[in-house]
Amino acid sequence: MSASRPMSLSLVVIVLLVAGGFMFWTVRELAAELRHDGAYSTSVSPAIFSAAASGDIASIEREAKRGADLNAVGSVAGSRSTMTPLMAASMNGHDAAVKKLLELGASPETRSDDGRTAIIYAAGWGNSACVEALLAKGARVDARGDDGWTAIMLASARGDLDRLQALLAAGANVDMRNKWSQTALLIAAQAGAVDRVRALLDAGARATIDWADNEGATALAVAAAAADSDDVLNELLAAGANPNLADADGLTPLMRAADRGDAERVRSLLDAKADPLAKDRLGRTARDWALSRDDDIGRTIASLLPASDK
């Protein structure tokens, strides 16, 4: 009898372990079934991000029914920043998906890890329909990212005119600055986008046309040195931009144009009363900058400029 008792206890332990394991797997399978039926608590669902990024409305609806958190912030293929499903749809220009996510309860004010909201992504990478859908749901048009960039700044840098106009129609502030003190006008000038520059000037940026960034460069100075910006430079001059404002190193727009080797810009600036004898911090004039190129283009431009009156 005494010898059989340990054996009986061992059998009981084994039976309990087997039963416990069976119950564990049963519960686990039941939980999986509940997830597929949509009867589980709200959670982060990787599938909702890929569905939003691809504009797959059926998958968005399915994941929402299953309880996916529409305002969760996660990784999205093709982006270095984490974002919400709404941001992913906005960035990829899927306006139907944007509307569906908003209808299902996605918030346009949730922020990514760099502080951006969906309208900032829509303005920079999406389309005007995405911008308008977000605005219709109360998205703040002047929301800032951690770097101070707003939707209107991103639209000025890389958006199309329709996106910019949608933001301007919603009252976007053209005078806001990012962490580098750049305005939307300066950013549009740097991009060489004359249609966006004109739209911003018409929307009130004319009053702050000579505001400079942290390095003292104005929109005109940036246009003088940027690629393919002859039309931008002429638009800014026609709007009254000051051609003689120097940056922190004493460089004027005329010096920048001379250094770039653009004779047309040099002529335009001279016609606007740019001072050809102004000197930078090292005592160099626009003519000196042109000659420092040491090429035929530089020498041609130098011929348009007077020698320094040392």
Identify which has the larger pLDDT, 229 or 145.
145
Please, are residues 137 and 104 in contact by the beta-carbon 8 Å criterion? no
Tell me what percent of the residues of the chain surpass a pLDDT of 90. Answer: 79
**Predicted local distance difference test score (pLDDT) of residue 206:** 96
Identify which has the larger pLDDT, 221 or 27.
221
**Predicted local distance difference test score (pLDDT) of residue 159:** 80
Instruction: Give the predicted TM-score (pTM) of the model.
Output: 0.83
Question: Average pLDDT, stretch 73-80?
Answer: 75
Q: Domains of the chain (ranges plus CATH)? A: 42-139 (1.25.40.20), 185-310 (1.25.40.20)
Residue carrying the six token digits 């806001």: 176
Question: Average pLDDT, stretch 232-244?
Answer: 98
**Predicted local distance difference test score (pLDDT) of residue 6:** 52
Please, are residues 129 and 95 in contact by the beta-carbon 8 Å criterion? yes
pLDDT above 60 for 142: yes
Residue 76: closest CA among 44, 102, 50: 50
The mean pLDDT of the chain is 88
Residue 175 banded pLDDT, cuts 50, 70, 90: very high
- Measured CA to CA, the distance from residue 141 to residue 118 in angstroms comes to 10
